[in-house]
Structure 1
Amino acid sequence: MSVNSYVVGFPRIGEQRELKKVLESFWTKNCSFDKVKKVASKLKKRHWEYQKEAGIKYISSNDFSLYDNILDTCIMLNAIPKRFRSLKDEELYFSMARGNDSSVAMEMTKWFNTNYHYIVPELSLEDEYKLNATKIIDEYKEAKKLGIKTKINIIGPLTFLGLSKRVDNGDVFELHSKILPIYKELIQEISKLDDEIFIQIDEPIFVKDNDSNLLNLIKPTYDCLANIAQNIKIIVTTYFEHSNEATNILVNTPIWALGLDFLYGKENIKSLDAIANSDKKLIAGVVDGRNIWINDIQKTLLLLTEFSKRIKKENIIISTSCSLLHTPFTLKYEEKLDEEIKSWLSYAWEKLQELRVISKIFFEGVISLKNKDLIHYEKNIYANYSRRSSLRINDKKVQKRIKEFKNYSRQGEFEERIKLQKELLKYKNLATTTIGSFPQTPEIRNSRRDFKKAYISKEQYEKDMKEYIDYCIAFQEECGLEILVHGEPERNDMVEYFGEQLNGFAFSQNGWVQSYGSRCVKPPFIYGDVSREKPMTVDWITYAQSKTDKIIKGMLTGPVTILNWSFVRDDIQRSEVSKQIAVALSDEIDDLQKEGIKIIQVDEAAFKEGYPLRTKKIKDYESWAVRDFKISVSTAYKKTQIHTHMCYSQFNDIIKTIEEMDADVISIETARSGNELLKIFKEVGYKQEVGPGIYDIHSPRVPSVEEMKTQIKLLLEVLPKEQLWINPDCGLKTRKWPETKQSLINMVEAVKQIRKENG
């Protein structure tokens, strides 16, 4: 029996990463596309049935994707970049996402302030949009055959436009009049499917600080879409922040319901009166779709009771705060996790059970709970009490050190440091390097796995890792790279590796979350105070340095990235957790330089994605995020060169903040956007050195020497050679060795030719 509960969206990668595995098999030509479709169909069926079994009333179709929902929307609208228009079907779809031998992939960037990446649509006035509703229609029918009537999820027209870029330099919202008729036609087609159909239109763009151009489009858009057919009920859903401005407009349109996030957008409570004074249903996002901590059901019920004082109970539907895409699948496979910590956790499947219990109590009272639901509720009360009172969460020594820590910046101004560093390090203009990781081969992964499972000895494990490091060093020297890395074979993940060696972290066996396409990450979770007991990287980096006369970069992950790529405890401020990590990293930097490591890279790949979505909250975030990067490097000598790396960031609005971080060299991802991102560095007179990525590592294609020379020349139009480093745009962990080798050989050759041509 279903209860009045709602799931915004469900994870699609599969509880054992089945989608990842079949996609990668298809891309390497080891299976057919028919196999991909069979696996996808099996996963969708399983996911729908899990939700039905949990009693969820509003289950989604079209939340599933073979790569990305925004990419799916491009296909639905026929918003196909010119370079791909000769292609069809799966070749078209995956070429847009991953590139092919002749064309670079579409740009990727972060989905709001999450670690999920979406494909950025490329639009122009000349585009001829037309409807392709095949996927949407087929999925609805697929679910209906199983006896499940789904709500249909689609990305809203204003969010689609707001997240797009105009390749002809116009305003994306000028295309509204071309896009809206396609959405109108889509809804007309959907209306033919059933007597009553719910359509969830995701408009997360509404949670940002939007200008009047966008806000003025909300009412005409939803007046139009919600009036197309009487059997269509439209739900406009937002998440990750409040959307009060948009909500106040939407209540005056004919939509059926509004989905609001009351966990990350607490200010949404200000919209309750506006909703109460309308005929709209409230989809109340009170079960966390972004984090893995168990719901405090008693606390949630109190919140819902407050809602019901302003909105009729029958007009409230209990929901996840956002799609469960951002959480792992199920705790079922976590067999090695500490039982106490495990009792504090809730993955996607477990959140379905929370939704059911909360909904039953809210609408029918505790007396309605029977058997497993009553047991679940009692366990929930105990687990929340256990978590609040556990001594393993609070470390008095850590708290004392953090309170007394005063060292907030390193010695010397940049001009003084860089002069000293260039004298000592003696690197050339356009110095060549990589971001850090090299391909993770099956052999390396197997060795790490076997060591963890005690199938091989520590001696054998270290021998395997050192042989790989030797191989990486030899290749880098052979191809002519100038500043080397050790390749990171010992690291399963750039965050998990450090978390495993820090107190206050716990780890899952199967807590995989989709990052993009087939790429999955397994974030650690920070449950208690963080500290470092011993050096984490020194042995590996110093071993690598002993194998070459060239400089080896020490490689660390920065505090803000460790924070943003972890599931973070929610009982203290995130800024306090970040500071604890930063202090631990400052000790690691001190140890590395004392062992003779001259360059240390502190990656802040996720610095930008942690930004609040509302402007008034940014200053506070920047204040502690910059503070903690500077704490991390505060022990660095003047002569120790500090690098950092940032992923998929638009720097226009944070360039001054990057300057405040005071790294000596920053590497950034620019391969998919030409030199556009770099121009802001010139505009503000950025003094520090910059390594713009000159080729895209997220695509398997190998760029030619000429292609890379062209890219370098574009960079030289913006910044002088004295300020530029040359590198790929990200780490090479996910690539294969043949393409990696040829790409780096071409990169080094391109630099040689540019240097020769420029004297």
Structure 2
Amino acid sequence: MTAPFPTATITGYPRIGARREQKKALESFWAGRIGAEDFARSVHTLRIGTYHRLAQLGLREDYAIPASYSHYDHVLDTALTVGLIPSVTTGTDFDLDEYFALARGTAQRSPLEMTKWFDTNYHYLVPELSDDTRFTARPQHLLSLVSEAKTAGHLVRPVLVGPLTLLALTKPAPGTPTRPLDRLAELTDVYLDIIGVLAAAGVEWVQFDEPALVADIAGTSDHELAEAAHRTYSTLASARTRPQLFVATPYGSLREGLDELAGSGIDALGVDLAAATRASDPEYANRLAAAVPQQVRLVAGVVEGRNIWADDLRTSLEVLQGLERESLSVSTSTSLLHVPYTVEQESSLPVDVASWLSFAEEKVTEVEALATAVTAGPDARVEAFNRADRARRTRAESVRVHSPEVRKRTAATAGQDGFRTDFAQRRQAQDALVIPALPTTTIGSFPQTAEVRRARADHRAGRLDDDTYAQTMRTEIDRVIELQEDLGLDLIVHGEPERNDMDQYFAENLDGFATTEHGWVQSYGSRCTRPPILFGDVSRPNPITVGWSAYTAQQTQKTVKGMLTGPVTILAWSFVRDDLPLRESADQIALALADEVADLEAAGIDVIQVDEPALRELLPLRESDRAEYLDWSVRSFRLVNAQVSPRTQIHTHLCYSEFGEIIDAINALDADVTSIEAARSRMGVLDDIADFGFERGIGPGVYDIHSPRVPTVPELVELIEAALKHVAPHQLWINPDCGLKTRSYAEVRASLANLVAARNQVVAAGIPSGARSETPAAAVGVSV
């Protein structure tokens, strides 16, 4: 007899550890402080501890817990498991040296390209597929996860990125004309091999994640994806020996592919039925009730997996009951990878705000409460339902949430588009900014030393007084200025030593936000962030960055660039309100930042960068929803800068984006300079820029800061020359592809020295016609 699907489950869980144990193990291994055996013991302890804790929280049924752990990235793991990326398996695990070389690069090789996972702030590694690639089943790592869990008393569910999503996220290798999805049949055969091995090992349920089925995939129609899903899962379901198949479809609603997937022979279908999805697709629950056969277990993800508000359990129970199914389980809408571990660790959150929140552990208990209530009624979990009722009521009544003054100011901007002046006028007004041809700059942050982090922590804890703290930060700024001047960079930044995170720092200084102590969420690898919590209307009580930028300008003769995080990025990297449209929150943040821009101008800062690295990140997965989003996101950016003088040069920065999809919006931002991530893609993004005919300046990143390797001068010269084939010389800026916060000073000094040397070499060799040895910054243009 096969195991039934659990009535309460989740589709994934944070893997960094409640105290970032994985991060510490990874970084110790990379630094050589521990060896492979110690690393293996550390992450083994973390995994088993996670399984035990999830069982304590209520996931006690067999296969209720997914084995969703990864050393670095789940897309990389699946790509290695199916041979999309050739690998050598060492015993029961991946070869760690090869694994981390793919993820991070080495002195001899570049890492895989990295980009955002659907519309989230998680980054995945992008596999490449060539015509020579031969898929091969390598399930040893999956088997080891299953075996260690079983030894510890847990029957866990192996998790793989589904074949359609894996190929949809894969890019063709250079010179490969074949679309990755055209090789789906070959890949499906390898998935057959893998599930056969799992079945032989006694595994009774396996999970395939297929978020591509809820998105519009470029070059592939919904109809094609739907047919491909039916073929693929019919093939897998027809295997003579296999585990039962659970297909999860997070981040939105299935549309054309629903009937095909539900009728393919799979055993369980996971769907995103959180409030946000129900609001965007009100008929989804009804379509599910009609389309999913009773023999298929419907796994209803009614508990939001991406945000941190306590679930409205009574409404969720009504949704579950409305499905009118016996074969029903309760789950989260997505993996809980996107939220922190537990509210219980937070001691500094306002008590009332904390009572409105549910992190990963609290969401597991909500899932269990709903699963019990489906059969036994809400009184069977009366404490959980009462908590949910209180959270909803007190949040709605709180005076913290609503500000009549902010609402009035925001309403007054209705109809404004944020237009400054014509770019030609601005270019002429900015002629006073004299900067060399192919000017060099950085994106903003410099390495965060242990001393700087300790000073921030001591100041926050009251162990360091304000004056001593300020002097410590000024000393670090002096160091950064001296380094930039020694290296010969043209546009100077202050290095942002005072900022723990480019998003959190602004949240700490804006009303309407709360921040956490331990609310860490994985961004990629060992990189973790603490997303702020946007709970109320936003305003700026005091200047935030002005003092640091003004101090920097006093210490150098070079032009200084002020640094702000833009409104869309602050939203994208925060847990946002679910009681107010995003566009209204964006306008509130934009107007608060506009006050900061005005104060920077008044302090004599002539260049201001308003970063929007997450502009593409929030782009809706469905094309039909994108125009509205791009309209309000572009408008909010322009509101930040609407009142600045034509003489003030506005920069922005974008990263990890499929820029061709939003090139019109990038142009509409109307920044004077825009920098973009381009190093890992080998300047591939510039085809889109050139085809569009972008007229302002552009700074395609030539130094990949997400890898510890130092790029050589010849490599950088090659990238600059590649950029010059697409961009007029008077437009081109030379910069890294992102901030330098996560790198060491040794790496940064060497890399930036090579960057400046490469620029100088290109200039000495003779820039193509159109550039001159010294060009006004406005003519140099926008660094996109």
Shorter-normalised TM range: over 0.9
Provide, for residues 439-498 of structure 1, a one-character-per-residue CA deviation record: whole Å limited to 9, x for no partner.
000100000000000011111100110000000000000010000100000000001000
Output the aligned Cα RMSD.
1.8
TM alignment of 1:335-414, pairs within 5 A = 335-369=347-381, 374-405=382-413, 407-414=416-423
Letter in 1 for 2:229: I
2:48 maps to what in 1? 45
- Secondary structure of the residue aligned to 1:286 is strand
1:582 maps to what in 2? 590
Instruction: State the distance in 2 between where 1:497 and 1:427 align.
Output: 30
Contact 1:3 1:356 in 2 (8 A): no
2:677 maps to what in 1? 669
Worse-matched range after superposition: 237-246 or 559-568: 237-246
Cα gap change, 1:515 to 1:620, in 2 (>3 Å) = same
The CA deviation at 1:608 is: 0.4
2:73 maps to what in 1? 68
Worse-matched range after superposition: 403-412 or 100-109: 403-412
Provide, for residues 326-382 of structure 1, a one-character-per-residue CA deviation record: whole Å limited to 9, x for no partner.
00011121012111110001110111111111111121123434xxxx333322211
The CA deviation at 1:320 is: 0.4
Contact 1:582 1:632 in 2 (8 A): yes
Instruction: State the distance in 2 between where 1:622 and 1:368 align.
Output: 45
1:32 maps to what in 2? 35
2:257 maps to what in 1? 246
Provide, for residues 595-654 of structure 1, a one-character-per-residue CA deviation record: whole Å limited to 9, x for no partner.
110100000010100000011111110111011001011121101000000010111121
Instruction: State the distance in 1 between where 2:187 and 2:390 align.
Output: 51
Instruction: State the distance in 1 between where 2:30 and 2:269 align.
Output: 40
**2:124 matched to 1:118?**
yes
Instruction: State the distance in 1 between where 2:172 and 2:286 align.
Output: 35
TM alignment of 1:740-755, pairs within 5 A = 740-755=748-763
**2:26 matched to 1:14?**
no
Task: Pick from 292, 295, 299 the counterpart of residue 311 of structure 2.
Answer: 295
Instruction: State the distance in 2 between where 1:7 and 1:83 align.
Output: 31
Give aligned-pair identity as a percent. Answer: 40
Instruction: State the distance in 2 between where 1:233 and 1:537 align.
Output: 56
- Secondary structure of the residue aligned to 2:750 is helix
2:777 maps to what in 1? none
**2:529 matched to 1:513?**
no
Instruction: State the distance in 1 between where 2:651 and 2:248 align.
Output: 40
1:758 maps to what in 2? 766
Instruction: State the distance in 1 between where 2:468 and 2:64 align.
Output: 49
The CA deviation at 1:427 is: 1.1
TM alignment of 1:33-432, pairs within 5 A = 33-56=36-59, 57=61, 58-80=63-85, 89-167=95-173, 168-194=176-202, 197-209=204-216, 210-211=220-221, 212-229=223-240, 232-263=243-274, 264-266=276-278, 267=281, 268-308=284-324, 312=325, 314-369=326-381, 374-405=382-413, 407-421=416-430, 423-432=431-440
Instruction: State the distance in 1 between where 2:348 and 2:263 align.
Output: 52
TM score, norm. by length of structure 2 = 0.93
Question: What are the ranges of 5 or more consecutive residues in structure 2 without an aligned counterpart?
Answer: 768-784
The CA deviation at 1:177 is: 2.8
Contact 1:697 1:730 in 2 (8 A): yes
Question: What are the ranges of 5 or more consecutive residues in structure 1 without an aligned counterpart?
Answer: none
Instruction: State the distance in 2 between where 1:607 and 1:62 align.
Output: 32
Instruction: State the distance in 2 between where 1:124 and 1:163 align.
Output: 14
2:443 maps to what in 1? 435
Task: Pick from 598, 606, 622 the counterpart of residue 598 of structure 1.
Answer: 606
Worse-matched range after superposition: 98-107 or 406-415: 406-415
- Secondary structure of the residue aligned to 2:590 is helix
- Secondary structure of the residue aligned to 2:131 is coil
The CA deviation at 1:231 is: 5.5
The CA deviation at 1:671 is: 0.1
Contact 1:605 1:647 in 2 (8 A): yes
Provide, for residues 378-431 of structure 1, a one-character-per-residue CA deviation record: whole Å limited to 9, x for no partner.
22211221111111110111111111126532431112212321x110112210
Contact 1:292 1:346 in 2 (8 A): yes
- Secondary structure of the residue aligned to 1:551 is coil
Worse-matched range after superposition: 222-231 or 684-693: 222-231
Provide, for residues 89-112 of structure 1, a one-character-per-residue CA deviation record: whole Å limited to 9, x for no partner.
111100000000111000000000
Cα gap change, 1:649 to 1:562, in 2 (>3 Å) = same
Worse-matched range after superposition: 296-305 or 58-67: 58-67
Instruction: State the distance in 2 between where 1:524 and 1:272 align.
Output: 35
1:648 maps to what in 2? 656
Cα gap change, 1:327 to 1:15, in 2 (>3 Å) = same
Contact 2:51 2:154 in 1 (8 A): yes
Instruction: State the distance in 1 between where 2:271 and 2:43 align.
Output: 29
Worse-matched range after superposition: 74-83 or 339-348: 74-83
Contact 2:652 2:675 in 1 (8 A): yes
- Secondary structure of the residue aligned to 2:661 is coil
Contact 1:301 1:362 in 2 (8 A): yes
Letter in 2 for 1:345: L
Instruction: State the distance in 2 between where 1:12 and 1:273 align.
Output: 33
TM alignment of 1:488-567, pairs within 5 A = 488-567=496-575
Instruction: State the distance in 2 between where 1:276 and 1:4 align.
Output: 17
Instruction: State the distance in 2 between where 1:82 and 1:670 align.
Output: 27
2:772 maps to what in 1? none
Runs of 4+ in 1 over 4 A off after TM superposition: 81-85
Instruction: State the distance in 1 between where 2:294 and 2:545 align.
Output: 59
Cα gap change, 1:692 to 1:124, in 2 (>3 Å) = same
- Secondary structure of the residue aligned to 1:613 is coil
Letter in 2 for 1:638: P
Contact 1:226 1:232 in 2 (8 A): no
Instruction: State the distance in 2 between where 1:84 and 1:225 align.
Output: 25
Instruction: State the distance in 2 between where 1:298 and 1:658 align.
Output: 42
The CA deviation at 1:230 is: 5.4
Contact 1:410 1:636 in 2 (8 A): no
Letter in 2 for 1:33: A
Letter in 2 for 1:116: Y
- Secondary structure of the residue aligned to 1:638 is coil
- Secondary structure of the residue aligned to 1:485 is coil
Contact 1:3 1:359 in 2 (8 A): no
